[in-house]
Amino acid sequence: MDYRESVLKSEEKTVFLLRSLYQSFGYRQYKMSKFEEYDLYAGNKDFLISDNIITFTDTNGRLMALKPDVTLSIVRNTKDTDGSVSKVFYDENVYRIPKGSHAYKEILQAGLECIGEIDNYCLGEVLYLASASLAAISQGYLLNISHLGIISGLLNDMALSPEQSQAALRLIGEKNMHELKRLCEAAGCSAADITRLIRVVSTNGAPEDVLPVLAECGCDAEAVRQLEELCRILRSAGEADHIVIDFSVVNDMSYYNGIVFRGYIEGVPNGILSGGQYDKLLRKMGRKARAVGFAVYLDFLERFYEQEPDLDADVVLLYTPETDQEILFRAVRQLTAEGLRVTAQKELPKKLRYGRVMRINPEGVLETC
């Protein structure tokens, strides 16, 4: 059946665009059931955005959860294979309490995961697809990229305790340089180390401006090389103007490592895309493979799209109890065949937004009122 594009909500159109984008790079669609065993999430609560999960007891007594996340389920259901990479994408509803809210919400989320022998090509491909996902939504987009290897290298050099490192990471995420400085001073770090850390994490911008600073500051050479190579791949894909290196993109270091990134769309107040390498999650789950992926939070876009149809129907077709039903039905079909949206009513509905009103006379002739 043919359908007019306008019947699709903007979020639905975006889902279709993303699906075809991911399929064109050989990603297979992953479908999951609405429920998973609660244990899967309970064991990895810190990996989840919110640790509030809707649970219920299944008929066989097992504690089940309405899925708050897709990645954990994908990781559990893919097998380690030698040499190859399992590439899947999804668009699924998840259930969780969004940050700053107190009630559960159904959230439409799309994304992809690459699990297996991840190399720089895979990372580049995923970063490109993240960038292209944002481009599918709007031309005003930015992809912020960070490398946790660089940050952890700097923090390790300063010999901070795990708690201090955790606090430092949170402050880096807030771009809160004044408190980061105080924290490092209180921890007894040297002035030179503090200056170096602040210089690196407060530098943000285009790769060509940031990469030389990283080299000058003597950051982890391998991580810097990797970042350089990935930026080259993105530049060759025409994404240069949309890439920002920004170390305030920080994900939990007990799950994530290496490249992490966040995507923004102009006009949407929150980051709508989030992703990174999460080899450490796989280690926790006893797996050998490496992994990278991202999610696009489509619920944030609800208020972004403006081109929603301004009318509920093009034509209100008024009829009377005496109107021959068959003639009426034929008239409605005739109008819909012309591509009009028609609502047949005996009375004009009060809150309907419509184009024009027509009447049908007993002979089946349509008259515009």
Partner 1 sequence: MLNVALPKGRLGEKVYDMFEKAGYECPSIREKNRKLLFTNEEKGICYFWVKPSDVAIYVERGAADIGVAGKDILLEYEPEVYELLDLDIGKCMMAVAAPNDYIDRPQRTLRVATKFERIAADYYASIGRDIDIIHLNGSIELAPLLGLSDVIVDIVETGSTLKANNLSVVERIVDISARFIANKASYEFKKNEISRVTEALAKQL
104-112, 262-270, 278-286, 332-340 -> range binding partner 1 (CB under 8 A): 262-270
* Rounded Cα–Cα distance for residues 59 and 334 (Å): 51
Binding flags for partner 1, 77-106, as an x/- string (CB under 8 A) = ----------------------xx------
Q: Rounded to the nearest whole angstrom, what is the least distance from the CB of residue 297 to partner 1 in the complex?
A: 13
Q: How many CB atoms lie within 10 A of CB 85?
A: 20
Q: Which CB sits closer to partner 1, 140 or 349?
A: 140
* Rounded Cα–Cα distance for residues 145 and 262 (Å): 7
- Asked if 176 touches partner 1 (CB under 8 A), the answer is yes
- Asked if 219 touches partner 1 (CB under 8 A), the answer is no
Q: Of 142, 187, 233, 240, which lies in the binding site for partner 1, with binding defined by CB under 8 A?
A: 142
Query: Exposed (0-12), middle (13-18) or buried (19+): which is 156, by Cβ within 10 Å?
Result: exposed
Spell out the SS3 assignment of 282-349: HHHCCCCCEEEEEEEEHHHHCCCCCCCCCCCEEEEEECCCCCCHHHHHHHHHHHHHCCCCEEEECCCC
What is the footprint of partner 1 within residues 264-323 (CB under 8 A)? 264-266, 268-271
- Asked if 178 touches partner 1 (CB under 8 A), the answer is yes
Q: Rounded to the nearest whole angstrom, what is the least distance from the CB of residue 272 to partner 1 in the complex?
A: 9
Q: Rounded to the nearest whole angstrom, what is the least distance from the CB of residue 248 to partner 1 in the complex?
A: 7
* Rounded Cα–Cα distance for residues 221 and 228 (Å): 10
Q: Of 78, 144, 146, 277, which lies in the binding site for partner 1, with binding defined by CB under 8 A?
A: 144
Query: CA distances (Å), 228 to each of 125, 143, 235, 264, 293, in order?
Result: 15, 15, 10, 22, 20
Residues binding partner 1: what is the number (CB under 8 A)? Answer: 19
Q: Rounded to the nearest whole angstrom, what is the least distance from the CB of residue 176 to partner 1 in the complex?
A: 4
What type of residue sits at position 282? L
Residues at the site binding partner 1, with contacts judged by CB under 8 A = 99-100, 140, 142, 144, 174-176, 178-179, 244, 248, 264-266, 268-271
